[in-house]
Structure 1
Amino acid sequence: MTEHGDAFSRRGFLIAGGGAAALAALGGAAPAVAAPAGAAPAAAAGTAGTPGTTGAGGTGTGGKAAVDWINPLTGALTTSPDTACGKTFPGAVVPYGLVQLSPDTVSGGDNGSGYSADMTTIEGFSFLHLSGIGCYGDLGQLQVQPQTGELVTGRDAAKSPFDKSTETAEAGYYSVELDRYGVRVELTAAERAGLLRCTFHDAGTGRLKVDLSRRIGFDGSHTVTQDLRLTDPHTVEGSMTADRSGGGWICGNGPSYTVYFSMRFALPIETFGTWDGDTVSRQAREQSSASDSAGFFVEFPVTAGQQVLAKAGISFTSIEGARGNLADSLPGWDFDRARADARDAWSEAVGKVRATGGTDEQREIFYSALYHTMIDPRTSSDADGSSRFGNGPIRHDPFTQRTVFSGWDVFRAQFPLLTIIDERIVADEINTLLALTDTGAVKGLARWELLGTDTDTMVGDPAVNVIAEAYLKGVRGFDAGKAYRYCRDVALGPAELSNRNDFENWTTLGYCVDTSLSKTLENSYSDYALARFAEATGHHADARALHRTSQNYRNVFDPDAGWFRGRNADGSWMSDQDGCVESNPEQQGWFVPHDVEGLAELLGGREAFNTRLNAMFEQTPPDVMMKWNDTYNHSNEPVHQMAFMFVHTGAPWLTQKWSRYVCEYAYGTGPAGLAGNDDCGQMSAWYVLAASGFYPVAPASGVYALGSPLFDEVAYTTSRGTRFTIEARNNSTTNLYVQSARLNGRPLHRAWLRHEEITAGGRLTLEMGPVPNTSWGSDPKWAPPAGR
């Protein structure tokens, strides 16, 4: 999901608008890439970092290890009215970790990450965050703020200004100077715990204020129920229970859940106190309240330059789980060791995709994007395997429970990427979705899961898409029979088992009426995906029925208008701009990824298809690419397959041209580096795949359309232990067109790959040049497989 914006930045430059160069004619050379006149690069904070061990990431061009190209501040704008809002957080996390320890510059409102790089004060540092979401967020609990001087309990009143030049963000590490309190704060994280190191520059009393009532996305009148207890001179433990009243996800459309914590301090606590509103106590040793402003504080005598360390384990099951998670993840107090361990974890994770060549800027964008694809779906079970959905019973499942499934977004690129490099995460997520349905808490399959609740956000059947794709690509480790039954219930009913959008109209009219166009096209793709799953598992009658309904997209194509339109229950057409979710008909209408040839037929053939689609890109000049717009709106997901659809209609050189164009103008470095909300890794995954030179138009097809790699070589280490390398010879900014290709030394005449060709390992070699080779990949006999 992406929210509207007015003016966005590109590659660290602010674009003031106007002056877009005329685009090349159909099939011509790509437009030259240049920064706006007179622009100077913005500082990219936190791109270097302490070297540490190289790990699996290796050292790429430029002499830096892959992990050191990661800039967690990429996309970290949330509220700016004039620039792109990626809504990422810059703090410390390890791959798919339960804890995300990060600075907070804002609470409440449409600020899903709780941080925006254009803000100049910090509220504190909390242990739980969401990355890149496009609406009112959730989590944000256990916020720690170091203080000196008088105790200030109010969240806004306690804010500290900070100098942006002191802010450092690296993979697994964050630091900043709090000017008001004269404290340097450093953060690092492990899988289920986080660690703070606070250096007090002046002698006196050092204080850590811990807010137990904060929750991102509250509406200003929320309460959180807190329980806390001082258990020994070094430890405070407790819980925070948040329900739908007063806010959270989309202002109260999300889960009810409890966060448990076990927080330890390296120094013995000199003074312990609690507060609830304006009431402060320095005698209480425990507290239970329901409040929008409550928590505890600890104080220590400090000398100038003294470091105060605090760490906490987090659990969604119990205080015992939090205590065990702390012992498992951060048993000691060596901050530098923990920081190095976090860096090593990221080095190993991003080392699965190794890019060579390209510019420094492209490498930073690439590895920052890869990093952001590995935040979610995060671990939500404890180190001992205990887990729960929301405030339900504790479970002990034979898989790692995960949470944050932004289905409508991530089925398009992030999960296809995971099917190549980390099948374990895919299987865990599928098992989690199936278990959630087992509980009866979710009808059908969750569409947008958060902490055991289907928030029912967005449209379509993304869980069906992900499950079908995974099975068809050979991902195992889940009950395929159960998975098929639940997917079938969603698509074919009976109605009481389905959570499909507008199920009744879909089955009786052959199209949806409510937000007609978006839902009809999304459902059509899901039925295609499930049809292939049905075929693979021997459910042939189901497969035939689903293949028929996968063609329902034709029922919202108006032949008189020559394009798609929403449709009313009586068969009449909606007005030109109605019937869509976060898109318009011109954008949404291209979402027929499973039957591109059928769509081309409706438009009058391949040439007509290519001309119309090409015009969408030509009408989107560089200064519009990072804005919400009515043409090619990369800020939001319905268009993400469009640049690669030309491969299906015999014009792969246009895919090469426009995929490069989107990479160049819709992505950049630093806080303004994303054209829209990262959407839990989808926007970033698009870049990783496109910059590598391939992308799945229809993920469940198992086919990847070939584009134009940005790098001389990208090597994928797959989940099967193989290595697949894409090599681009004579590659450059101008040499962006594929002249010829060889797969494992043999000529390749088609402009696409099968999933099994990638996972088997091997080498794809592309010879690049400055003008299109309109013969390569254009013959219909080399087209990707048809919808069936």
Structure 2
Amino acid sequence: MNLLLKLSACGFVMAQLSIGSLNAQRPLDYVDPLIGTQKSSIGYGGTMPFVMAPFGMTDWTAQTRQNRVSVTSYNYDDQTISGFIGTHQPAIWMGDYGYVVVMPQSGPLHVSPDDRRLPYRHSHEKAHPDYYSVVLDAGSGHLIRAEMTATPRCALFRFTFPRSGTARILVEASRPGIFGRASVDQEHHEITGYNPHRMDDRLGPLSLPNFKGYFVVQFEHDPAVVRTYGMDDSSARLSRGAYAEFHPGETVLMRVGTSFLSVEQARENLAHELPDWKFSATRERLQVEWNEKLSRLQIDGATRQDKVRLYTALYHALLYPRLFSEYGHYYSAFDDSIHSGESYTAFSTWDTFRAENSLLTLLAPERIDGMVSALLQDYKEGGWMPKWPNPSYTNIMISTHADSLVAEAMRKGFHGFDRELAWQAVYKDAMVPPDQDTERRWLDREEHTPYEARGGLTYYKQLGYIPTDKTDEAASSTLEDSYDDWCVAQVAKFLGRDLDYRFFIKRSLNDRNLFNPELGLMNGKLSDGTWAPLGGRDDTTANRSISGWTEGNAWVYTWSPLHDQLGLIGLMGGAKAYDEKLDQYFRDGYNVHSNEPSHHFGYLYDFGGEPSKTQAKVREVAAKEYGYGPGGLDGDDDCGQMSAWLIFTALGFYPVNPASGDYMIGSPLYGRISLQLANGKVFRVEAVNNSSTNVYIQSASLDGHPLDAPIITWEQIQSGATLHLRMGPKPSHWASNWRPAAVAAN
């Protein structure tokens, strides 16, 4: 690189650094989207540095590798970029669908990702939720500067090309073997097309012949050349992709609209969201949107590094579920038709029912009615609420935790959805076995099956548990179905269905049928009523089949009945035995925070009368599992669940049973932290004498009144109360006499 080019690149990087320094106190300036993008000694978060609006329909990121199931588009350790992708891949273990890729080039036309990739350096890369930029090395001393900002369904790019060589932008509609198409409008110099690829299409029961991800690409100034590629005739109107060429040295503005309805709707989305070519103004609008959301959380007494960690977690939590509607209409991936209304997708319910959804009820309550309505629309159009829509049924994970989302919304007073339809949906989950229920084992990621719903429900209704010799992951499913039964009971209660409430509250105690008193642990059962092999520490396919566990083992799942901790205390022989068993769980290394079934464990000592152990443990986990750089996230973020845990722990409380409206108190990470609520009030947590060593609560009050239980409620938070804690370096007896209420079985 010659001196002039070096100075140019350096000046560009410094200019971008100065943008973030103008308003250093804004929450957005603390967000580092690169956190979780690198494998490290902590783990791998599987995140990507998305430029997108909160809950946006399409995410935009640099593509350092071709994504697929188990591979994301961006990995920090890669040294080249082959494009900038508008992706809908929600998590590393899920696939993408309807994506589109663009790539600037200088020199000969290169179509394949391997041939077109260009080197870059992280020192010439800036990643923010509202803006991404990078300098690409096109060889022979040529540099291409790429910048992008976004709206919920569109992106605005700015490419600055070198002063010599061909300036080209390639648009990839689909990959080889995928029958997508691109076309060129020579008169308007516009590239349009669609991509029908759904990487997870074999994981559910539905074929969707009408599914397509549509796009429209427009340029501020007319290109010199616009052509298609991928067919023998390069001037053909339809092809796998297209490209536009410009004069050397140009700065090219390009906007991309996406849609799941039509090319025309993609064009309409551009008209709604990017009506002009003002790059800075578009970015500023996205900054305002992000700052409004992020500023609902305020922190005092934290270092800049800690604010980066926390606000990045909040950014991750505000990405999902994502919009799937477009100005009053949406494509349904459940009946392959277009409908009127609002829709969302990317509900990773097995992960997010635990804390992510609960966090959204606090920080994005304006979205909850629409999200629940989306699940109910899926029920109407496909027959069931989905467990992991991407964007259709995928049958990934177990149980029907959409029941929890519905129950939590009702518990917290949300009314903007059809409650009778909600009852029909949760009742079907709880009472109607899936097709071929006794003919299949319902293997994890089994292809081409009916919708799984509660696999093994036939046996659950007959025996009070799901036998491991009949259904895969049966022990875990029994325990999680019991919790979902409790949620269905709550929905019945809210709707005044007393008989249904009594039925499901009694059945919610089926978890107790798997407690093995000789082991003091939950244990799967065979269909003849005998105990199944307990299974080992490792989670393997064979282990799941034999012992019946899902991504865990008996130790992880023993405490999984989130609604029945008092019952578990009784089964174990009292609070002392319960706490000692928890001690052994942590001491022997069973807590794997990188996976969701362990997320509530640190808070369980509250139930056993030793809240000081909860206070120490959650501090320990937060320090160990959450870092500050690209490798600073232990475990797949799973649509915000890993991040939501950190935010709640920083606040000092956590929703162990999310549908109950109760939050168990831990140990807040900072001296003062507050939530700006949608009702205009502010809930505050004040932790006097808080520090890395003063982790123990010595006394607590709520609005000046003594608080003697390690619990606060949804109503207390919504009232704008102040939780005042006095912290110290040694355990105290605060709240040690509190016990949870029993689940009434009649």
Determine if the TM-score, normalized by the shorter chain, exceeds 0.5. Answer: yes
2:462 — aligned with what?
A: 508
Which residue in 1 is equivalent to 2:389?
A: 449
Does the alignment pair 1:683 with 2:611? Answer: no
Question: Quick one: distance in 1 between partners of 2:461 and 2:359?
Answer: 33
1:92 aligns with 2:51: yes
Q: How does 1:472-491 map to 2 (within 5 A)?
A: 472-491=411-430
> In structure 2, which of residues 232, 242, 247 is the aligned counterpart of residue 301 of structure 1?
247
> Structure 1 residue aligned with 2:407, among 443, 468, 472?
468
The answer to whether the Cα contact below 8 Å between 1:716 and 1:725 also exists between their aligned partners in 2 is yes
Gaps of 5+ in 1: 1-44, 55-62, 215-220, 289-293, 621-630
Normalised to the residue count of structure 1, the TM-score between the two structures is 0.85
Code of the residue aligned with 1:748 in structure 2: it is: L
Partner of 2:166: helix, strand, or coil? Answer: strand
- The structure-2 alpha-carbon separation of the partners of 1:588 and 1:104, relative to structure 1 and needing over 3 Å to count, comes to same
Distance 2:415 2:660 in 1: 17
Q: Is the 8 A contact 1:419 1:475 kept in 2?
A: no
Question: For the structure 1 residues 275 and 119, does the alpha-carbon distance in structure 2 shift closer, same or farther, using more than 3 Å as the test?
Answer: same
Q: Does 1:235 align with 2:197?
A: no
Paired with 1:487 and 1:52, the residues of 2 have a C-alpha distance of 50
Deviation (angstroms), 1:117: 0.7
| Separation (CA, whole Å) in 1 of partners of 2:664 and 2:202 | 36
Residues 76-116 of structure 1: CA distance to partner in whole angstroms, max 9, x if unpaired?
13xx5866221111131110111211111111444443111
Q: Secondary structure at the match of 1:238?
A: strand
Verify: 1:785 aligned to 2:738, yes or no: no
How far apart are residue 418 of structure 1 and its match? Answer: 1.1
Decide which of 379, 391, 415 is 1:437's aligned counterpart: 379
Partners of 1:484 and 1:49 lie apart in 2 by 53
In 2 relative to 1, CA 545–743 (structure 1 residues): closer, same or farther, beyond 3 Å?
A: same
| TM-score normalised according to structure 2 size | 0.89
Identity of aligned residues (%): 34
Deviation at 1:140, TM superposition (A): 6.7
CA contact (8 A) 1:100 1:128 kept: yes
Question: Per-residue deviation at 1:390?
Answer: 6.5
* Residue in structure 1 matched with residue 495 of structure 2 by the alignment: 537
Check 1:266–1:334 CA distance in 2 against 1; reply closer, same or farther (3 A cut).
same
Counterpart Cα distance in 1 of 2:135 and 2:108: 19
Deviation at 1:233, TM superposition (A): 3.4
Structure 1 match to 2:397: 458
1:493-520 per-position Cα deviation (integer Å, ceiling 9, x unaligned):
3766992221101100111122122101
Matched, 1:360 2:329: no
Please report how far the alpha carbon of residue 769 of structure 1 lies from its aligned counterpart in structure 2 after TM superposition: 0.7
| Residue 370 (structure 1) aligns with | 314
Q: Residue in 1 aligned with 2:230?
A: 276
Distance 2:599 2:40 in 1: 24
2:55 is equivalent to residue 104 of structure 1: no
The answer to whether residue 218 in structure 2 is matched with residue 264 in structure 1 is yes
CA offsets 1:671-730 (integer angstroms, 9 cap, x no match): 211110000111101111111100011011111001101111111122333211111111
Tell me the alpha carbon deviations over residues 145-193 of structure 1, each in whole angstroms, 9 at most, x when there is no partner: 1001100111211111111211111121111111126211111111111
Counterpart of 2:441 in structure 1 is none
Aligned to 2:517: 559
Q: What is the Cα deviation at residue 444 of structure 1? A: 2.6
Select which of 54, 66, 88 maps to 2:27.
66
Deviation sequence 1:514-555 (CA, Å, 0-9, x none)? 212210111011111111221121111111111111111111
CA distance in 2, matches of 1:391, 1:553: 35
Correspondence for 1:213 among 174, 178, 183:
174
- Are residue 586 (structure 1) and residue 555 (structure 2) matched? yes
Report 1 or 2 for greater relative contact order, CA contacts < 8 Å, sequence distance ≥ 6.
1
* Structure 1 position 572, deviation (Å): 2.1
Q: Distance in 2 between matches of 1:383 and 1:423?
A: 20
| 1:527/1:549 contact within 8 Å kept | yes
C-alpha distance in structure 1 between counterparts of 2:170 and 2:206, whole Å: 28
Instruction: Select which of 510, 529, 533 maps to 1:571.
Output: 529
Instruction: Give the match for residue 124 of structure 1.
Output: 83
1:328 and 1:383 in contact (8 A); partners too: no
What SS does the corresponding residue of 1:209 show, helix, strand or coil? strand
Partner of 1:745: 704
Q: Residues 33-71 of structure 1, C-alpha deviation per residue, up to 9 Å, x if partnerless? A: xxxxxxxxxxxx9996724886xxxxxxxx532111100
Return the alpha-carbon distance in structure 1 between the equivalents of residues 319 and 715 of structure 2: 26
Alpha-carbon separation, structure 1, partners of 2:583 and 2:333: 46
The 8 Å contact of residues 433 and 458 in structure 2, kept in 1 or not, is answered as no
State the partner residue of 1:160: 118
Q: Is the 8 A contact 1:136 1:250 kept in 2?
A: no
Alignment of 1:135-150 (within 5 A): 135-139=93-97, 141-150=99-108
**Matched residues in 2 for 1:225 and 1:140: separation?**
9
The alignment partner of 1:144 has SS state of: strand
- Cα distance in 1 for residues equivalent to 2:620 and 2:115: 46
Report the counterpart of residue 3 of structure 1 in structure 2.
none
Q: In the alignment, which residue of structure 2 is the partner of 1:595?
A: 564
AA of the residue aligned to 2:409? A
- SS of aligned partner of 1:71: coil
CA RMSD, 1 decimal: 2.3
Match of 2:345 among 399, 403, 410: 403
Structure-2 change in CA distance of 1:502 and 1:251 (3 Å): closer
Partners of 1:53 and 1:340 within 8 A in 2: no
Residue deviations 1:386-417, cap 9 Å, x none?
544368222112xx311111110110001111
Provide, for residues 403-447 of structure 1, a one-character-per-residue CA deviation record: whole Å limited to 9, x for no partner: 1111101100011111112222221111111111111x2x33211
The one of 596, 612, 615 equivalent to 1:656 is 615
Show the counterpart of 2:178.
223
Cα gap change, 1:250/1:694 in structure 2, threshold over 3 Å: closer, same or farther?
farther
1:203 equivalent in alignment to 2:172:
no
Closer, same or farther: CA 191–108 of 1 in aligned 2, 3 Å: closer
CA distance in 1, matches of 2:40, 2:29: 30
Shift of 1:380: 1.3
Q: How many residue pairs end up in the alignment?
A: 696
Structure 2 counterpart SS, 1:167: strand
* Residue in structure 1 matched with residue 7 of structure 2 by the alignment: none
- Looking at structure 2, the residues matched to 419 and 411 of structure 1 have their Cα atoms a distance apart, in angstroms, of 11
User: How many Å separate the matches in 2 of 1:479 and 1:559?
Assistant: 43
Cα gap change, 1:649 to 1:461, in 2 (>3 Å): same
Question: Residues of 1 paired with 2:434 and 2:242: CA distance?
Answer: 50
Offset from partner CA, 1:599-657 (integer Å, 9 cap, x none): 1111121111111112322344xxxxxxxxxx100111111111111111211111111
Give the conservation status (yes or no) of the 8 Å contact 1:653–1:772. yes
Report the CA distance between 1:231 and its aligned residue: 5.8
Q: What is the deviation of 1:252?
A: 8.3
Q: Is the 8 A contact 1:169 1:175 kept in 2?
A: yes
Q: 2:22, 2:186 → 1: CA distance? A: 38
Tell whether the 8 Å contact from 2:98 to 2:213 is kept in structure 1 after alignment. no
How far apart are the structure 2 equivalents of 1:47 and 1:645?
46
Distance apart, 1:734 and its partner CA: 0.5
Find the residue that maps to 1:454 and give its secondary structure: coil
Q: Deviations over 1:1-45 (max 9, x none)?
A: xxxxxxxxxxxxxxxxxxxxxxxxxxxxxxxxxxxxxxxxxxxx9
1:363 Cα deviation after fit: 1.2
CA distance in 2, matches of 1:438, 1:242: 25
1:287 aligns with 2:238: yes
